Amino acid sequence: MKATSNRGMQAMLILGALLLALPLAVHDTFVLRVLTEAIMWIGLAIAFDVIAGYTGYLNFGHGAFFGIGAYTIAILMMQANLPFALALPAGGLAAGLLALVAGFPTLRLKGAYFAIATWALSRAIQQLALTMDITGGPDGMRLTAFLNPQFFYYLMLITVGLTFALLWYLLERAPFGLKLKAIREDEEGAKALGLNPTKLKMQAFILSAVPTGILGGIYAYWITFIDPSSTLGDLVSDQAVVMVVFGGMGTLFGPAIGALLIFAFKTIFWAYLSDFQLLYIIILGALIAVSVIFIPNGLWGTLVRRKQDKIRPEHEIAAAVAPEEGN
Amino acid sequence: MELLPQALCDGILLGGIYITIAIAFSLTYGVMHVIDFAVGEWIMFGAFTGFYLNKLTGLDPFIFLPLIFVIYFGVGYLVQPVIHRVLSGTKGNPFLMGLVFTFGLAMMFRGLALTVFGFYSNSIPSMFSEGAFSFDRFGCSVTIPTVRLVGLVYALAITGVLHYLLKKTNFGLGVRALAQHKDAAGLMGVNSKRTGSYVYGIYVGISAMTGVLLGCILSIGAQMGNDYTIFAFFVVVLAGMGYLAGVPWAALLLGLVQSIFMIYFDPSHTLLAVFAILYLILLISPRGLFGKGV
């Protein structure tokens, strides 16, 4: 076990070093841009999985947290003239506060209430952004452009890398992850063990929302234009759901792989079939339904479990055969 | 203030129609324990079916209501086994998966509808569309369009039929038993699979029929589904999940909120008001207005 985790660590370090060195080799702005967005989606997917996969509470309004981060930073930078470095934490803070407010009444209840409430919340926030003056309504907001693709690549990479490391430590190494899984499997049982499910779920929800808000803020400054449909629209939430369900809920690598595959598919699809954006939504919906029916553990879960399944019968056969040989 | 009687009247008439959506929706939740994110999409499909049948034959859409019920009952009857399979799976968390599954279905249906029907908004013409009753007494004047009144009558009829079905028949007894305790109901000889299919079929059929009515009263469009999904959620949470007797009051309240916002405030803030009420209810009394939800 220790050897594998060491090997995994080495692989991660090598991957990190490669990603850090990448802009030195890649000078094509388009490729860098695609990579930056791919990294962003990995971050969004793993943040979504904290509350959905580990805790078992589906947040169908993930886009609201992304959008509120983006809008907070846009408003602070354009209306209050704050520098980006100061506005960025505020984006995360705003998303965390929203999670606190939205989670407080709903996380005490069954998962269905939470799913409904977050979904309704994202619609309400969309409507708010469309009708308020400070957000520019349907016209959206324009930010001062800072045209440095390398800067955004590194910023996104470092943010997502730190998020991944933090989540990996908290969810896979620290007791926090086990507590969340205990709640997911049996909330009453978790209570009997002396855990406080509501408090833990709140922590998980905030842990999921803050990185999402920060990523939204970076996205706003990077793309320099945000409007309700691009940041608060359903597509952000929908894609997060697809990535996590397809990749594998309740793991960190599953959503990351799901995010990469879905994002690659999206990039290719929009490059060649940009006239058929509705088809993209249909495919996403169908992919969710098909994954749920055929690979309920997602790609990652199915592959890892299959490996375990292969090992187990051999042990059993060995155990069953051994006494007979003794005779 | 002279608009108030009109606002109340509109609200009650609109709320009456929401009763049918929410009561079927709540029934499905009670039996299957999964909330169906595709509820608005079923309404939208029903509305478009009525729209095209009306265009094709030129007959009044109200004549098609039974036909639409039969078609969508069949659709729901065929879709439910898939959801049942997801819910009775052993891998992962079945209820989480059920929720995700209906979410995926809703996305797929919305995309399909936008592809086939386009982004345009339409309305279904009916023989009831033109007429209206006017009252002008006691210093207040109220106009009630005939089509809304017919809608209310329809809603009351559906509610009555469902009430009869649930309280007076063996089938209804089975449904109520399933809602109370699935395993025990199974031991008593209730076929949960088949009963679930029937309930889901009835729910999809009623939703589709209500869609036609909403198409006559308001308008239809491929994106209408989302709003009605929110309304259905709102009513069911307000009434208490799975508590059918609370549904009519919650639906009437939604109708009133909507019509009062339409007349006195900015109609584009209706969703915000709906969410604010939803939030307050979840904060103060998460089991619904009557505290009897599950």
Quick check: B74 contacting A, CB < 8 Å?
no
Of the CA atoms within 13 Å of residue B51, those in its CB half-sphere come to 22
Query: Do A113 and B91 lie within an 8 Å CB cutoff?
Result: no
CB-nearest partner of B103 from A106, A121, A241? A241
State the Cα–Cα distance between residues A16 and A297, nearest whole angstrom: 27
Q: Cβ contacts (< 8 Å) between A292 and chain B: which residues?
A: 86, 97, 100-101, 104
Report which DSSP code applies to B244: G
Beta bridge partners, A141, equal: A226
Query: Do B100 and A120 lie within an 8 Å CB cutoff?
Result: no
CB-nearest partner of B282 from A117, A127, A131? A117
Lowest-confidence segment of A198-202, A303-307, B248-252, B258-262 by average pLDDT: A303-307
pLDDT at A133: 82
Query: Do A288 and B101 lie within an 8 Å CB cutoff?
Result: yes
Quick check: B81 contacting A, CB < 8 Å?
no
pLDDT at A50: 93
Query: Do B272 and A241 lie within an 8 Å CB cutoff?
Result: no
Backbone angles phi, psi at A80, to 5 degrees: -105, 0
> Closest approach of chain B CAs to the CA of A126, in angstroms?
10
State the Cα–Cα distance between residues B15 and A11, nearest whole angstrom: 59
Query: Do B230 and A120 lie within an 8 Å CB cutoff?
Result: yes
Domain range spanning residue B143?
4-225
Enumerate residue ranges in chain A where pLDDT < 70. Answer: 1-5, 305-327
Which of A122, A154, A157, A90 lies closest to A229 in space, CA to CA? Answer: A122
Above pLDDT 70, what percent of chain B? Answer: 97
pLDDT of residue B14 exceeding 70, the answer is yes
Quick check: A62 contacting B, CB < 8 Å?
no
Is B136 inside a domain boundary?
Answer: yes
Backbone angles phi, psi at B289, to 5 degrees: -55, -35
State the Cα–Cα distance between residues A123 and B234, nearest whole angstrom: 13
> Closest approach of chain A CAs to the CA of B140, in angstroms?
33
Q: Cβ contacts (< 8 Å) between A111 and chain B: which residues?
A: 95-96, 99
> Closest approach of chain A CAs to the CA of B23, in angstroms?
17
- State the CB neighbour count (10 A cutoff) for residue A271: 9
CA-based nearest residue in chain B for residue A185: B93
Query: Do B237 and A113 lie within an 8 Å CB cutoff?
Result: yes
What chain A holds in terms of domains, given with CATH numbers, is 28-296 (1.10.3470)
Query: Do A288 and B85 lie within an 8 Å CB cutoff?
Result: no
Query: Do A113 and B241 lie within an 8 Å CB cutoff?
Result: yes
Report which DSSP code applies to A274: G
The one-letter code for the residue type at A158 is: I
What is the number of domains present in chain B? 1
Quick check: B265 contacting A, CB < 8 Å?
no
What is the per-residue pLDDT across A163-197, written as a single tens digit (0 to 9) for each?
A: 999 999 999 888 999 999 998 888 888 999 899 99
Query: Do B111 and A282 lie within an 8 Å CB cutoff?
Result: yes
Q: Helices marked H in chain A — which ranges?
A: 2-25, 29-49, 62-78, 84-106, 111-131, 149-168, 175-185, 187-192, 197-223, 234-247, 253-272, 277-294, 298-326
Query: Do B286 and A293 lie within an 8 Å CB cutoff?
Result: no
Task: Give me the residues of B, 231-260, that contact A with CB < 8 A.
Answer: 233-234, 237, 241
pLDDT at A1: 44
Q: Cβ contacts (< 8 Å) between B234 and chain A: which residues?
A: 120
Query: In angstroms, how far is the first alpha carbon of chain A from the final one?
Result: 35
Lowest-confidence segment of A37-41, B65-69, B151-155 by average pLDDT: B151-155
Is B291 inside a domain boundary?
Answer: no
Query: Do B85 and A293 lie within an 8 Å CB cutoff?
Result: yes
Whether B15 and B251 have beta carbons less than 8 Å apart is answered as yes
Backbone angles phi, psi at A171, to 5 degrees: -95, -30
Query: Do B110 and A293 lie within an 8 Å CB cutoff?
Result: no
Tokens of A207: 């842990």
State the Cα–Cα distance between residues A180 and A224, nearest whole angstrom: 37
> Closest approach of chain B CAs to the CA of A41, in angstroms?
19
Whether A156 and A43 have beta carbons less than 8 Å apart is answered as yes
Query: Do A120 and B96 lie within an 8 Å CB cutoff?
Result: no
State the Cα–Cα distance between residues B271 and B275, nearest whole angstrom: 6
Backbone angles phi, psi at B292, to 5 degrees: -120, 15
> Closest approach of chain B CAs to the CA of A220, in angstroms?
25
pLDDT at A285: 92
Is B280 inside a domain boundary?
Answer: no
* DSSP track, A207-222: HHHHHHHHHHHHHHHH
Is B257 inside a domain boundary?
Answer: no
Q: Which residue's entry shows tokens 């709903």?
A: A106
Q: Cβ contacts (< 8 Å) between A286 and chain B: which residues?
A: 104, 108
Beta bridge partners, B135, equal: B142
pLDDT at B139: 65
Q: Cβ contacts (< 8 Å) between A121 and chain B: which residues?
A: 275
Task: Give me the residues of A, 76-115, that contact B with CB < 8 A.
Answer: 104-106, 108-113, 115
State the Cα–Cα distance between residues B275 and B269, nearest whole angstrom: 10
State the Cα–Cα distance between residues B155 and A10, nearest whole angstrom: 65
Going by their DSSP bridges, the two strands A225-226 and B121-122 should be labelled as unpaired
Query: Do A127 and B82 lie within an 8 Å CB cutoff?
Result: no
> Closest approach of chain B CAs to the CA of A211, in angstroms?
23
Is B70 inside a domain boundary?
Answer: yes
Radius of gyration of chain A (CA): 21
Whether A299 and A258 have beta carbons less than 8 Å apart is answered as yes
Going by their DSSP bridges, the two strands A225-226 and A141-142 should be labelled as antiparallel
Q: 3-class DSSP state for residue B142?
A: strand
Of the CA atoms within 13 Å of residue B28, those in its CB half-sphere come to 33
More confident residue, A222 or B92: A222
Q: Cβ contacts (< 8 Å) between A287 and chain B: which residues?
A: 104
Query: Do A120 and B109 lie within an 8 Å CB cutoff?
Result: no
Strands (E), B45-125: 121-122
State the Cα–Cα distance between residues A159 and A69, nearest whole angstrom: 14
State the Cα–Cα distance between residues A318 and A263, nearest whole angstrom: 44
Whether B239 and B250 have beta carbons less than 8 Å apart is answered as yes
Query: Do B99 and A119 lie within an 8 Å CB cutoff?
Result: no
Tokens of B282: 């979840």
pLDDT at B279: 85
Q: Cβ contacts (< 8 Å) between B241 and chain A: which residues?
A: 112-113
- State the CB neighbour count (10 A cutoff) for residue B268: 12
pLDDT at B185: 86
Report which DSSP code applies to A249: T
Mutate to test the interface with B, among A292, A293, A309 (most CBs of B within 10 A): A292
Whether A8 and A223 have beta carbons less than 8 Å apart is answered as no
If you count residue pairs, one on A and one on B, with CB atoms under 8 Å apart, how many are there? 134
